[in-house]
Structure 1
């Protein structure tokens, strides 16, 4: 997995750590290795170090590599796959997650195609992601495993008990679409609310542009940017939240969505992304715990948020649905069981 500060974990990092812990609970001997480097653009030293790590161990020991690392190192991954059962845990396409376009995106797509073509198994968090991998890279369905993330038990959020608090919990990058959220919030300045836009801030220039836009829209006093939140601080933010808004343009799943539901917090997510799958079936009894909206423009977001803010019946219905979904969410032991079975089969094929 990528070696990143524990103070700024991504959803993929949290998935990796939780899965490793749960696999150990299934009796799997797990050795976690953090790969240093500027992934997905590693230098030669990072690639050499990764290559050395991948060849350590017995020929029947299964290697499961985070896609941010493995897909950026197709030669090293191919060399590993020649001698050991090798799988990739793909949280996001490299080019999409990195926000690349044009020639740089094409280079990452090519590397990813080579890497995924070399391994025996690709693990993805959603059916939507599996379909995309199969279609884009022509990988047979038997080599793609859907392993939705589990959820840790969490207390029910009490909420704001006053002015409604909206939360966006995501890295402040163009992909996560904070700019669209600001435009939507500007369309509701006549209503009481406050918004917490928490998450790692890897691009200082992008953050400055967003804060300047918030000020220009008259939102400076109502929108806060606390940065990455972990531990007790993260728990306090969740406890005061009434609605999670996740306007990301692309998601393979959206772990933060089910983390919200585990606390009884409804969610608004981007239509056509994996976060819609995390939201749950739209025809579930009692209705969905939120809504999926178009994130190409702010208009539908404004309508949906305004309805939630002004219609008590909608708020109560979404809250009830989120509380009901809370009891339906699987734990990480289920995810680990799914992955364990697939890795055992992969190892058996290589014997």
Structure 2
């Protein structure tokens, strides 16, 4: 008999972010393995959805028949604690946690506290939790009192893609990530100003729509620093793998990542990485394939960029190590099998 799963998600599943990309590839992989996956859209605005959207989402979920195997993306599930308390006894609920909601950058202390408590209460009622990194699993164990046995780590897969020649003149610095505070593109821009005298060009690709105020602030920052002719804000990118194939350095100063799929993609294309010691990034990036600096350390980020640009032998060693690391990364079929096995074990 075909295995059946309802996958409930917030927002637009076609959105170009790592989290939604993971969701799409997971769904496709499970269907390839024989699962019948029914999609259930919960509405926009999560985790800050208004009461009407939230109530409608709860109504849709409560309409599912008893015994349904239901996976809910954590962006929505983390605020559905009251619903989970009511319905957990009759539904087999699985949470997909990309990263805890309270760890999003830019939240005040009160909002962090509310989200942490609601997500903790919601996770009490699940049959199982799927996470995208060991770092997130450890966070749930240490900060949410979840048993390690109740968590499956299903690392994102990585597709084959063209390897960068890493011989740009000037070196091409690429950054990929939505223009939101957590991605810290402002730190990258400040660091690029500090190495203005070196040869380089930079492309920052990512949606402007998720946080328009942050996008506008980044545009003003680039203009004020006189870097508008050297930094391209490319907006949404149809083919990030093609963009990475042109990169000599991948640089993203994220303040937190639940995994960081784009870091893995850069490695798979032989592009050395400069990033921050935040979330799961140190787990993704081997020490010989990139440089990690402290969060919000523009000077340290600039020093790392300078080293990568000026020391050609060092850059070549890092690029070779990135290619080796990329060859060890899992594929999306591995991700799907891991999740499938976890779902099959749920009573």
Output the TM-score relative to the length of structure 1. 0.90
Q: Is the 8 A contact 2:11 2:45 kept in 1?
A: no
Task: Find the aligned partners of 1:78 and 1:107 in 2 and give their Cα distance.
Answer: 17
Task: Find the aligned partners of 1:109 and 1:212 in 2 and give their Cα distance.
Answer: 34
- What secondary structure sits across from 2:155 in the alignment? coil
Q: Is the 8 A contact 2:290 2:318 kept in 1?
A: yes
CA drift of 1:45 comes to 2.8
Off by >6 Å, runs of 4+ in structure 1? none
Task: Find the aligned partners of 1:57 and 1:63 in 2 and give their Cα distance.
Answer: 9
Aligned counterpart, 1:239: 245
Aligned counterpart, 2:328: 328
Task: Find the aligned partners of 2:178 and 2:106 in 1 and give their Cα distance.
Answer: 12
Aligned counterpart, 1:72: 79
Task: Find the aligned partners of 2:22 and 2:152 in 1 and give their Cα distance.
Answer: 15
Q: Is the 8 A contact 1:167 1:197 kept in 2?
A: yes
Per mean C-alpha deviation after superposition, the further-off stretch among 41-50 and 318-327 is 41-50
Q: Which of 82, 97, 113 does residue 120 from structure 2 map onto?
A: 113
CA drift of 1:112 comes to 1.0
Aligned counterpart, 1:81: 88
Q: Which of 206, 225, 229 does residue 214 from structure 2 map onto?
A: 206
Per mean C-alpha deviation after superposition, the further-off stretch among 210-219 and 131-140 is 210-219
CA drift of 1:160 comes to 6.3
Q: Is the 8 A contact 2:80 2:118 kept in 1?
A: yes
- What secondary structure sits across from 1:30 in the alignment? strand
Give 1 or 2: higher strand fraction.
2
Deviations 1:274-306 (A, max 9, x none): 1121113x3xxxxx2212211232122111110
Aligned counterpart, 1:285: none
Deviations 1:304-329 (A, max 9, x none): 11010001111111111121122211
Aligned counterpart, 2:4: none
Aligned counterpart, 2:265: 259
CA drift of 1:185 comes to 0.8
Aligned counterpart, 2:150: 143
Is the counterpart of residue 42 in structure 1 residue 49 in structure 2? Answer: yes
Deviations 1:72-129 (A, max 9, x none): 2222233342212111111122133363112222222221111111112121111111
Aligned counterpart, 1:17: 24
RMSD after superposition:
1.8
- Work out the number of aligned pairs and report it: 338
Q: Is the 8 A contact 1:47 1:76 kept in 2?
A: no
CA drift of 1:159 comes to 4.7
Q: Is the 8 A contact 1:176 1:249 kept in 2?
A: yes
Output the TM-score relative to the length of structure 2. 0.91
Task: Find the aligned partners of 1:34 and 1:99 in 2 and give their Cα distance.
Answer: 27
Aligned counterpart, 1:181: 188
Is the counterpart of residue 228 in structure 1 residue 269 in structure 2? Answer: no
Task: Find the aligned partners of 1:242 and 1:35 in 2 and give their Cα distance.
Answer: 40
CA drift of 1:344 comes to 1.5
Is the counterpart of residue 342 in structure 1 residue 318 in structure 2? Answer: no
CA drift of 1:208 comes to 2.3
Task: Find the aligned partners of 1:40 and 1:160 in 2 and give their Cα distance.
Answer: 43
- What secondary structure sits across from 2:250 in the alignment? strand
Aligned counterpart, 1:316: 316
CA drift of 1:235 comes to 4.0
Task: Find the aligned partners of 2:106 and 2:16 in 1 and give their Cα distance.
Answer: 18
Task: Find the aligned partners of 1:266 and 1:60 in 2 and give their Cα distance.
Answer: 47
- What secondary structure sits across from 2:29 in the alignment? helix
Q: Which of 102, 122, 145 does residue 95 from structure 1 map onto?
A: 102
- The 1:50/1:98 distance shift into structure 2, 3 A limit, reads farther
CA drift of 1:58 comes to 4.7
